[in-house]
Amino acid sequence: MTDTEKATVENIARRHGYNDYRWISGADVQVCQWVRFKCMFGCPSYGKKGGCPPSVPSIAECRALFSEYEHILVLHITARFEQPEDRKEWSRSENLKLLPLEREAFLAGYPKAFLLFMDEPPARLRREHTRG
């Protein structure tokens, strides 16, 4: 990806209101087994939600995915909540706002544009987004 191509993607992100971001290499993404083990042995949602193990790709599949990306744009999005449960609705709303960014990048000639969602299972969000 050239600097001009990166600038195109950055402009798309900025048009959607995301100004805090960083480019990283897929080789720099660490996919670790300990994270899955924390889910398996410490989270009440394990096995119950589509965005949680074992319903998500395996460690090997995640590593393979990231290895296919030379350049990854990571958005830094922050929010503070009075109640921890408020995070879920914010996350759902933020995911829905990110879908058009992913689509615009794809249509601009970046076929590997791929949004990794926060919290919600992607298929459910996409169904709701396309209905609305």
Mind listing the pLDDT tens digit for each residue in 46-91? 888 777 888 888 999 999 999 999 999 999 999 999 998 888 888 8
| Domain match, 10 and 32 both | no
Predicted pLDDT at 48: 85
In contact, 46 and 39? CB cutoff 8 Å: yes
Which of these, 108, 107, 116, lies nearest to 75 by C-alpha position?
A: 116
User: Could you tell me the pTM of the whole model?
Assistant: 0.81
Percent of the chain whose pLDDT exceeds 70: 89
| Domain match, 64 and 110 both | no
* Range with lowest mean pLDDT among 84-88, 111-115, 118-122: 118-122
Written as six digits, the tokens of 91 are: 């996350």
| Domain match, 132 and 88 both | yes
Number of domains in the chain: 2
| Domain match, 81 and 16 both | yes
- The mean pLDDT of the chain is 88
In contact, 9 and 74? CB cutoff 8 Å: no
Range of the domain at 92: 1-20+77-132
Q: How far apart are CA 3 and CA 71, in angstroms?
A: 11
| Domain match, 106 and 82 both | yes
